[in-house]
Amino acid sequence: MLFKRSDTNVKMYIMPFVTTVNSQTDCNFPNGELQTTTLYELPLTTIISPVLKFKHLMRSTFILLLVLMGVSTTVAAQTIKITGTIANPAGDPLAGVTINEKGTNKTVFTQPNGQYSIQAAPSGTLTISYVGYETKEIDIGNRQQIDISLAAQEKSLEQVVVVGYGTQKRKDLTGAVSSVSGTELAKVPVQNVGQALQGRLAGVQVTMADGSPGAEPSIKIRGGTSITQSNQPLYVVDGVPQTDGLAFLDPMDIESVDVLKDASATAIYGARGANGVVLITTKQIKAGKVTVNYDGYVGAKKITSEIPVMGAYDYLVLDYERRAGDSARVAGFTNLYGPFDSLKTIYGGRPGKNWQDEVFGNTVYNQYHKISINGGSKDTRFNVFYARNNDEGIMLNSGSTKNIGKITLTHKIGDKFTINAIANYSNQKITGLPPTEGGNARLTYLQTLLQYRPVSGRNPADDEALLELETDPLDNQSSPAFQSPIIGARSRLRERVINTLNASANIQYKLSKSLTYRGLISYTSKGNKFKQFNTSESIVAIRSGGPFGSIDEQNDSRLNYNNTLTYARNFAGAHNLDVTAGQEYIYNYFERFGTSASAFPTVNNGWDDLSLGTIFGTPNSRAEDDKLLSFFGRVNYGYKSKYLLTASLRADGSSKFGINNRWGIFPSVAVAWRVINEDFIKAMPAFSDLKLRVSYGQAGNNRISNYAALGIYTTGSYPLNNTITTSAYQNNLPNPNLKWEANQAVNIGLDLGLFDQRITLTTEYYDNRSKDLLFDTRIPSSSGFITQFQNIGTTLSRGLEFTLNTVNIKSNDFNWNTSFNIAFPKTKVLELSDGETSKIVNSYTTFNDYILQVGQPVGIMYGYIADGLYQVNDFDFNAANNTYTLKAGIVKDNRTVQPGYQKFKDISGPDGVPDGVINDLDRTAIGNANPKYTGGFTNTLSYKNLDLSVFLNFAVGNDIYNANVLNNAALSNDLKNTLSRFSERWMTIDADGKRVTDPVSLASLNQGKTIPSYIGMVSDRPYNTMIEDGSFLRVNNVSLGYTLPKTLIKRTRINNARVYFTAYNLHVFTKYTGYDPEVSVINNAITPGVDFSAYPRARSFVLGLNLSL
């Protein structure tokens, strides 16, 4: 500060460091504001005149000096320079963070390296804020170096949630939207990110059909609505809608997943929203210096459980039992294996070959590597990465390898214009013979693996020879494939290659302060090629005249564009309005082509040269397309942030629907009351959020085949004069009224937050009615058609969902958060076709085993009820010819029964009362594949640099149809091995191997037996013994990580490093006896929960590294 005496005025010059003007200093500054770097001339009189009025000049001079010094300390307050770095919890510096001294207008921003510099009062407070992170207030406390770590806004009300065609803050939501962050999903070492969603979100049920590599998870939101059509939701990835699934995404590239569950959120997607919508946002690039990142892991996998199969001794006893009494066949047995009484000594301790061990038992390895470069300024940002995931399957010769390359560019011009471009290429190769392949249920690979004999002969060393036995001398051509399963897995080659290119660009242009235009255009090209070849050593080639193979390819392309205009404005501070209007067009086209050849010579080039086949199959080709055009609008209105209203309307026209019903209208309305903003709640500090939501809306499901409304002529073949000639006929009755399946949904939700959002609980109750369900309706077959595709069914899906998130402990060193979700879904069929109250269907084989019944849920297993065994005293014995005749009064079956045969319960006859005969009328519901409740439980803990996350998921009350057991109950078929549970069966031979015929010995031999005899087992009817409880609790993912301390890596180029160890599918607690309780091999909504030849599951342990330079 300077003083200059001139005349009677002492001028004072100050350079103010603070720009806030105290209203009491009666100063006239130019522009009314102080500039921080200008020297101001202050007439002294303005400051000291009130003082001078009361003092003598001499004394006043002294006092003046004192006052001046006092004034100088207040006017030019002492400020210090504070510097530091602002980073995110992972330690990455954040650019563009706003730092403001509280109470002043002084604001600075962090540089690209996260550093800032500000002059502030030593006793002041700094406010630090940044989009996506929680605002922090830090007391300066005389410090000059303040480094701050900002916490991401995970569960807070300011969290931005992606909704249809826009975003909303969680506190403004009127619909039911569940979200999960990408960091949680990235911890699960799976190839398909859909699998990582298992158990994370209330009401979103994710199941894997089985454990095959490259398997696509099936997602069902709120129980699903459709009976015949797909129940999969619509997927929207970065604004681009598609129904292909999530296989083309890299699981570590996800920023967040938001799932729209109720109609007010999904109605904006109109005819595609009925099954819910999964919105995926991939990693958004933040401004900052360019970083190079490496993420990778290596892991080992091993099968979790095996199905117990008979060992050598039990197998041979069964084999002998089949032959006993026929001296020629017994002689054959004795020659190969030895006499019956020596079986125990020779084979008692010999396990024989365990085929599951040989084919599935190896430890296999998987690896994942990703290199990415990203960064940029506030205006231009980019992200480029390449990721490769190699997942070996636990079954021999199987696996899935995925390569993904992606480029994302964002460019901003001024404040008005933003353009975003994404190009994502994914290449996935899946190899391996599916255990379900084989056509006829008896012939699938897994069944033949379980049934192949474990011993070859008397000499134990010969068992090894079975491994490579190409032609088994016992194979009698009519039995199912009798060959070493190892040769089977090696010689039946299958390869599927899926290439997907997704390219999209979206622009955002601010036409004015309130009006924004957004446009999106995207193109997807997908190729799916499936090659198969059975080499000369495979049994299927041997039996069909030589090796054979085929190549089939399908190419899909899709063009999608949409335009929206949004008007957002706040009126008079109390009314918040945002209106969106838009249009969308989607065009899908695919072509399919296939060719095959058979009877190849033994030496060949497999599928790489099909021309070597001597018999050619007929090539086939196909092309189809479909179009969708839509117009939609949405209004969001909020009054003082207390009362919220959302209304939307969409009109969809689709080429798939009948000519009379091309266009559909889908409205929705939702209201919400933010009780937390009411005065009476504000007085209760415990509450941090309280919101009540009610919504109603209509959405549709258009996932039907493209030409279902037309009368299609199909070609068939007819042999005429020894030549195959093509015939043609109309395949279906056309239906010009065919339309989408309609879903009317009501949702009531309550969001509760306590103690500053430390506890948040979301409760949802929903009631979804689906009508106009597409159904092959039974029509009188005298019309020439058995069914007509009509919109006629109705189902109900109702349930309760809870999501609870708690921040249990929050301190500088130790944090513990818990997330728990549970859903209680219930579905019920309300109506089938006219006059039809039930429909019986088959799942994996030729006999009926499921029922669709009015008043029952979808997914009911239907069959007989087992009622013990026929005992010896149920029969009259005729000693003259050693025959047993069933006594009167004992329930008869429509096959001839003997002691030791399976007995069934007589439920009903033609009159509705038990009639003493077992036939089709004695069937009833024997199982329900739907769980009573499902959910998941996550605990995340962090202590200093360690982080631990434990995730469990569960489902309770669902039944599984163990078709593996049913199929292997056909014990009377020669040569086949079977499950070890059947060794405790009713025996027809005694300890010497002789057939027992007299009643007394037969009864005493089989006292207490519950399993039927080898010839009395039933395998062509479904019955309740095969239905098991599939409830489970799975320790799904346990991940322990350690972030290297900054002090350690400060001197290297490394910015951030984290190592982690993850156990995936660590353990399943369940009573189910099959491979895994989460199984559903038939892809049909009516027949869920079938376990037939499913690929087993594995447990994997991975060690990973996240590195950032």
Binding site residues, other proteins, CB under 8 A:
621-629, 653-655, 659-660, 662-663, 706-707, 710-718, 720-721, 723, 725-730, 733-737, 779-786, 788, 893-896, 910, 919-921, 1020-1021
Phi-psi region of 708 (alpha: psi -120 to 50; beta: other; left: phi over 0): alpha
Closest CA to 586 of 554, 544, 606, 556: 556
Q: Collect all residues with Cβ–Cβ distance below 8 Å to 6 and sequence separation of at least 6.
A: none
Q: How far is the CB of 1017 from other proteins (least distance, A)?
A: 13
Q: Judge whether 867 and 905 are in contact, CB under 8 Å.
A: yes
**With respect to other proteins, which residue has the nearer C-beta, 420 or 790?**
790
Q: How far is the CB of 835 from other proteins (least distance, A)?
A: 10
Q: How far is the CB of 655 from other proteins (least distance, A)?
A: 4
**With respect to other proteins, which residue has the nearer C-beta, 509 or 707?**
707
Q: How far is the CB of 782 from other proteins (least distance, A)?
A: 4
**With respect to other proteins, which residue has the nearer C-beta, 764 or 893?**
893
Please, what's the b/e burial string for 584-605 (b: 16 or more CB within 10 A of its CB; e: otherwise)? bebebebeeebbbbbebeeebe
Q: How far is the CB of 1018 from other proteins (least distance, A)?
A: 8
**With respect to other proteins, which residue has the nearer C-beta, 78 or 726?**
726
Q: What is the 3-state secondary structure (H, E, C) of 856-879?
A: CCCCEEEEECEEEECCHHHEEEEC
**Count of C-beta atoms within a 10 Å radius of residue 139:** 13
**With respect to other proteins, which residue has the nearer C-beta, 357 or 1020?**
1020
DSSP 861: E
**With respect to other proteins, which residue has the nearer C-beta, 772 or 959?**
772
**With respect to other proteins, which residue has the nearer C-beta, 614 or 730?**
730
Phi-psi region of 283 (alpha: psi -120 to 50; beta: other; left: phi over 0): beta
DSSP 606: G
Q: Exposed, middle or buried: residue 79 (CB in 10 Å: 0-12, 13-18, 19+)? A: middle
**With respect to other proteins, which residue has the nearer C-beta, 11 or 662?**
662
In 393-514, beta strands by DSSP E: 399-413, 417-431, 492-510
**Which position has the token pair 């959020």?**
689
Closest CA to 139 of 83, 101, 109, 110: 101
Q: Which tokens in the block code for residue 847?
A: 């006999």
DSSP 477: S
Q: How far is the CB of 895 from other proteins (least distance, A)?
A: 4
Phi-psi region of 31 (alpha: psi -120 to 50; beta: other; left: phi over 0): left
Q: How far is the CB of 966 from other proteins (least distance, A)?
A: 15
**With respect to other proteins, which residue has the nearer C-beta, 720 or 1000?**
720
**With respect to other proteins, which residue has the nearer C-beta, 158 or 624?**
624
Q: How far is the CB of 711 from other proteins (least distance, A)?
A: 4
Q: How far is the CB of 886 from other proteins (least distance, A)?
A: 12
**With respect to other proteins, which residue has the nearer C-beta, 354 or 972?**
972
**With respect to other proteins, which residue has the nearer C-beta, 350 or 592?**
592
Q: Collect all residues with Cβ–Cβ distance below 8 Å to 435 and sequence separation of at least 6.
A: 210, 212, 395, 444, 445, 446, 449, 1093, 1094, 1095
Q: How far is the CB of 1023 from other proteins (least distance, A)?
A: 13
Q: How far is the CB of 156 from other proteins (least distance, A)?
A: 45
**With respect to other proteins, which residue has the nearer C-beta, 726 or 1007?**
726
**Which position has the token pair 């005065």?**
679
> Pairing between strand 148-149 and 80-87?
parallel
Q: How far is the CB of 824 from other proteins (least distance, A)?
A: 37
Q: How far is the CB of 547 from other proteins (least distance, A)?
A: 30
How large is the angle between the packed helices 45-52 and 57-75, nearest 10 degrees? 130
Q: Which tokens in the block code for residue 597?
A: 């050849």
How large is the angle between the packed helices 312-323 and 327-337, nearest 10 degrees? 160
- Residue 556 C-beta-side C-alpha neighbours within 13 Å: 16
**Count of C-beta atoms within a 10 Å radius of residue 665:** 12
- Rounded CA gap, 770 and 698, in Å? 9
Which residue intervals of 444-535 are DSSP H helices? 445-451, 462-465, 485-491
**With respect to other proteins, which residue has the nearer C-beta, 799 or 1022?**
1022
**Residue 966 in 3-state DSSP?**
helix
Q: How far is the CB of 620 from other proteins (least distance, A)?
A: 9
How far CA 264 is from CA of 236, 602, 696, 939, in Å, comes to 17, 62, 6, 31
Q: How far is the CB of 656 from other proteins (least distance, A)?
A: 9
Q: Exposed, middle or buried: residue 477 (CB in 10 Å: 0-12, 13-18, 19+)? A: exposed
- Rounded CA gap, 384 and 373, in Å? 5
**With respect to other proteins, which residue has the nearer C-beta, 459 or 896?**
896
**With respect to other proteins, which residue has the nearer C-beta, 733 or 1033?**
733
The identity of residue 22, as a single letter, is N
| Distance linking the first and last C-alpha atoms of the chain | 48
**Count of C-beta atoms within a 10 Å radius of residue 334:** 15
**Count of C-beta atoms within a 10 Å radius of residue 1037:** 24
**Count of C-beta atoms within a 10 Å radius of residue 480:** 18
Q: How far is the CB of 174 from other proteins (least distance, A)?
A: 29
Sign of dihedral through CA atoms 892, 897, 901, 902? negative
**With respect to other proteins, which residue has the nearer C-beta, 125 or 583?**
583
Q: How far is the CB of 496 from other proteins (least distance, A)?
A: 23
**With respect to other proteins, which residue has the nearer C-beta, 142 or 730?**
730
Q: Which tokens in the block code for residue 64?
A: 């003046």
Q: How far is the CB of 728 from other proteins (least distance, A)?
A: 4
